[in-house]
Amino acid sequence: MRRKVLLVLGGGAAALILAVIIFALAFDINSYSHRIESATSGATGLEVRINGKMGLSFYPLGVSAKDIHVANKGGEIISIETLRLGAELMPLLKKQLKVTGCELIKPAFTIVKSADGKYNFENTEKKSTKESPRTAFSLDELKLSKGAIVYLDNKTREKTEFKDFNLAIRDLSVVDTSGEIIKNIAFTGNLDCKEVRKKDLNIYNVRSPVKAAKGVIHLIPLTMDIFGSKGEGDVTVDNSGADAEYKINLKVSKLDFAKLEESFGTKRIIGGKGDLYASLNMKERGNRNLMSSMEGTFSLRGANLVIYTMDLDKILSSYEASQQFNLVDLGTFFIAGPLSTIAIKGYRYGDVYSQTRGGHGTITQFISHWKIRGGVADATDCALATRHNRVALKGKLDLVGERYNNVIVALLDDKGCAKFKQNISGPFGRPQVSTVNTAESLAGPILNLFRKAKSFIQGGKCEVFYSGSVHPVQRD
């Protein structure tokens, strides 16, 4: 009896396999390519074209297509070298396609954000929900391998590239009634990307679990190789409301200062290791600059750093050397840290120092801690110490208006009072340094700071300029 059952089951399976083979040989799936294009174009509101051949596979059972292109009125959005769809057998025998999984091999995405905040994949014409019934789409599994993403922001003219991008997600579902796909997508999965590039900044080996639901996408925990070290943190993109909100937390321990400078397009001035912490929130509000909504904190600190282009102690301690030294140069470059790359606006500090100084020096302690609100960075604890001197910075950098807001740099005594100080205000491109002409300060001969700062020298009691975490210098 058992043998007969096995024979029947085996015969049935063989007959089913034979039927599938006969069906596959007789069924020309390419004749359905136009229907598929029309159906997917209608469902997405985009123009879908299959330029290559389509085919059937037996294991795993499914459909494949090559050379696929997806476009909107603004141009191409997606190109795919190969698309593979997993399908259920019985619907396929009835010439119906029920997709269970999807794999995109070498997809290339071009995402463009217009000046008015619209994305190129969004529908420009909104349909009435009465005319268009609520539609739903679900997929058990979606894979993207060897992909590339280019993101262009037409308002800021910035480009971000993601190279060798891989994504594997499960339980994908989309309920889209208005063309706002991001707000109606849900899934869980994992991503990794070999390289992220934005101007001079390169980030490698980005990896994270990813989860999306109700317009909110979480990348927790997020890891990467950045500034010659390992970075970790999390990112949340919230599109559930009228304005998109971004939350970024990042910690990079033992970063390489030379790699940091290289990533921001500046010459190697400082060597050594340090720690970076950032916790930032940004919110899109219509056509306003994204940076204008930036809130949070940014901190960079290090110890026992090497200066390759000068001996700061020799410069700061020697009256003769200090006659040709501009104190705000020291503060805005060394203490402001990466924020200074926005503020210096092309002024070549490294060249000035290497041409006029020479030698090597040491920074024994360094901290650059900023509180950011409304796109304005406020120096809450910014200072450095050499073996014999301390220098501190106060003031604000308006990152949106591109202005120095009364930034003051001071050479301190043991009590934290300013022995000498100098301030810089005004636009990044045309700043006013103390009472001296801008051309003399930033482009011409370096200022005779000490001659102009004698009025700040005081004996006895004084007003403390700095009382932060960079400790007073230990005298020999």
pLDDT tens across 408-425, in order?
888 888 899 988 888 888
One-letter amino acid identity for 75? G
Which tens digit of pLDDT belongs to each residue from 452-462?
333 344 445 67
Residue 283: pLDDT above 80?
yes
| Confidence at 97, pLDDT banded by 50, 70, 90 | low
* pLDDT confidence tier of residue 319, bands split at 50, 70 and 90: very low
Task: From residue 420, give the alpha-carbon distance in Å to each of 215, 404, 413, 475.
Answer: 53, 20, 9, 19
The percentage of residues in the chain with a pLDDT greater than 70, rounded to a whole number, is 67
What pLDDT was estimated at residue 459?
A: 46
Lowest pLDDT segment from 137-146, 186-195, 343-352: 343-352
The pLDDT score that the predictor gives to residue 233 is 97
- Write out the E strands in 263-294: 270-271, 273-283
Categorize the per-residue pLDDT at 95 as very low, low, confident or very high, splitting at 50, 70 and 90.
Answer: low
Which region among 60-74, 233-247, 370-384, 455-469 has the lowest average model confidence (pLDDT)?
Answer: 455-469
445: preceding bond cis by omega (within 30 degrees): no
Residue 439 lies in a domain: yes
Average pLDDT over residues 45-74: 80
Q: Is residue 131 part of a domain?
A: no
- The residue segments making up the domain with residue 369 are 224-476
Establish if 350 belongs to a structural domain. Answer: yes
The first and second tokens of residue 304, run together, are 């026992």
Compute the mean pLDDT over every residue in the chain, rounded to the nearest whole number. Answer: 76
Q: Where are the beta strands (DSSP E) in 114-242?
A: 136-153, 158-175, 185-198, 201-213, 216-226, 229-238
Query: Is the pLDDT score of 182 beyond 60?
Result: yes
Residue 436's pLDDT is 28
| pLDDT class of 254 with cuts at 50, 70, 90 | very high
Q: Which pLDDT score, from 0 to 100, does residue 73 have?
A: 79
All residues at 6 or more sequence positions from 365 whose CB lies less than 8 Å from its CB, including other chains: 303, 383, 384, 385, 470, 471
Query: According to the model, what pLDDT value does residue 450 have?
Result: 36
Report how many domains make up the chain.
Answer: 1
pLDDT tens, residue by residue, 334-377 = 666 656 555 555 444 444 444 445 678 889 999 999 999 999 99
Measured distance CA(252)–CA(233) in Å, rounded: 9
**CA 65 – CA 73 distance, rounded (Å):** 24
3-state helix, strand, coil split of the chain in percent (to 5) is 25, 50, 30
pTM reported for the whole predicted model: 0.76
CA dist 43 and 39 (Å) reads 6
- Residue with the larger pLDDT of the pair 460 and 465: 465
For residue 9, what pLDDT is reported? 42
Tens digit of pLDDT for each residue in 49-59? 889 888 777 66
Q: Which residue has the higher pLDDT, 148 or 447?
A: 148
Give the whole-number percent of the chain exceeding pLDDT 90.
Answer: 30
Residue 58 lies in a domain: no
CA distances from 247 to 54, 55, 154, 294 (A): 42, 44, 22, 10
Per-residue pLDDT band for 177 (boundaries 50, 70, 90) equals: very low
Dist. CA 64–CA 434, nearest whole Å: 69
Among 172-181, 291-300, 424-433, the minimum mean pLDDT is found in 172-181
Strands 295-307 and 158-175 turn out to be unpaired
Structure confidence at residue 218 (pLDDT): 96
406 within some domain: yes
247, pLDDT greater than 90: yes
CB atoms near residue 445 (< 10 Å): 10
pLDDT at residue 320 tops 50: no
Of 296, 170, 187, 189, the closest CA to residue 245 belongs to: 296
Radius of gyration of the chain, Cα coordinates, nearest whole angstrom: 30
Within-domain flag for 39: no
In a domain, 348, yes or no: yes
In this structure, are residues 449 and 409 in contact, taking their beta carbons and an 8 Å threshold? no
Structural domain includes residue 441: yes
